[in-house]
Structure 1
Amino acid sequence: MERKVLLVCCAVGLLGLLSAAAGFGAESTRIKRSQVKFVSTSQCEYPDTPAFGLGVTAAVALMLAQIIINVSTGGNCCKRRPQPSNSNSTVARLYIVFSRFVFVIAFFLLLAGAALNHRHGVGSMYAGNYDCYVVKPGVFAGGALLSFASAVLGIVYYVNLNSAKNSDMSCGGSIPKGAIAMGQPRIPPTQCG
């Protein structure tokens, strides 16, 4: 494996682990209903917890992992420029679509959980009674699991895309338009898988 590929995979993997750990930390420190005090007819008193900071940290780490993957691949998921045309490239595109889909859900869960956990003050009227808002159990944990899955899918995408590029160029792949041929020998297609 190339050094650049290993470096990108390690960076994205560490950011994915950081995001998951911070998400699980936010889940364990979130405000529970039993911790909220009902002060007056419409005021709720919330304790201070690190869940807001942990939720934001998890979301930022997840965002950085996605940025690293996109920058290192040139953001070429769906552009109409010459790309490797083998099955590894098609599989890589599927991985990035799933990775981005999971990223959006995880990012939303982490930020929504952090914002709702940071809410202070007025309660809400429900069936004639006031109620204080709290984040439901599992919001941060779900975001943590999905953020880790997004990082893993991003790594798999990056590795598959690099193997597709390498196999396409080593097996008689076409030289992109405007590129300069450097006189490297081509392997006849019969020797390529």
Structure 2
Amino acid sequence: MAKNIGFLVCLLVITMDVVAGVLGLEAEAAQNKMKHMRVWIFECRYPSHQAFKLGLAAAVLLALAHAIANLLGGCLCIWSKAEVLKATANKQLAVASLIFSWIILAVAFSMLIMGTLANSKSRKSCGIGHHRALAIGGVLCFFHGLFAIAYYVSATASAREEKMVPHGGV
């Protein structure tokens, strides 16, 4: 049973990220169905409650997927360049994947929240439009899923390697 848990975690995280990506793209489509008027860089449009709900759901799923992958993947600490050079390939991949997943999370979550907040107002808004924020956030959810899974798999493999090899020896 314990061997299958890794597969289930990967399946859960990738499913949550894919659903978040699809919801982000659907929110963009719902937002584009609303009336709007454009004058140069300024845009007046009515908010879409459907886009608000879909964007919020996408942001929540993205955050949950990230939390699950990071909590169940464990904590990997590399404090110096010497440790990076001595680390196994799994540990190096885990650290790189962790960094990229955090960067993608920050950008995707920001885009989803920005697009969601643009649709939260109860009256029409005028200003500089946030074009494609929900779509970009949705697409980045797919990439986040790839890096989150790469982190989880390499972090758990690195933890298994450390259990097999005693500290101080190679």
Scaled by the length of structure 1, what TM-score is found?
0.70
Match of 1:146 in 2: 140
Match of 1:25 in 2: 26
Question: CA separation in 2, counterparts of 1:30 and 1:87?
Answer: 44
**Residue 154 of structure 1 aligns to which amino acid in structure 2?**
A
Question: CA separation in 2, counterparts of 1:135 and 1:12?
Answer: 32
- State the Cα RMSD in Å: 2.8
Aligned length: 157
**1:46-104 deviations in whole A, cap 9, x for unaligned?**
26440000000000000000110121023x14376xxx931210111000100011001
Instruction: Indicate if the aligned counterparts of 1:92 and 1:161 stay in contact, CA closer than 8 A.
Output: yes
**CA shift for structure 1 position 18:** 0.9
Match of 1:174 in 2: 166
Taking the TM superposition and a 5 Å limit, the aligned residue runs for 1:68-107 are: 68-74=68-74, 76-78=75-77, 85-107=87-109
Question: CA separation in 2, counterparts of 1:54 and 1:134?
Answer: 22
- Between Structure 1 and Structure 2, the one with more helix by share is 2
Question: CA separation in 2, counterparts of 1:145 and 1:175?
Answer: 41
- Ranges in structure 2 where 5+ consecutive residues have no aligned partner: 38-43, 80-85
Which structure carries more relative contact order (alpha carbon 8 Å, separation 6+)?
A: 2
Taking a change above 3 Å as real, the CA distance of residues 88 and 36 of structure 1, as seen in their structure-2 partners, is: same
Taking a change above 3 Å as real, the CA distance of residues 47 and 97 of structure 1, as seen in their structure-2 partners, is: closer
Question: CA separation in 2, counterparts of 1:25 and 1:122?
Answer: 21
Taking a change above 3 Å as real, the CA distance of residues 152 and 45 of structure 1, as seen in their structure-2 partners, is: closer
Match of 1:55 in 2: 55
Taking a change above 3 Å as real, the CA distance of residues 19 and 45 of structure 1, as seen in their structure-2 partners, is: closer
Question: CA separation in 1, counterparts of 2:60 and 2:95?
Answer: 24
**CA shift for structure 1 position 134:** 7.3
Match of 2:40 in 1: none
Match of 2:41 in 1: none
SS at match of 1:121: coil
Scaled by the length of structure 2, what TM-score is found?
0.79
Q: For structure 1, which segment, 159-168 or 102-111, has the greater mean C-alpha deviation from structure 2 after superposition?
A: 159-168
Choose 1 or 2 for highest CA Rg.
1
Q: For structure 1, which segment, 14-23 or 1-10, has the greater mean C-alpha deviation from structure 2 after superposition?
A: 1-10
- Ranges in structure 1 where 5+ consecutive residues have no aligned partner: 38-43, 124-131, 177-188
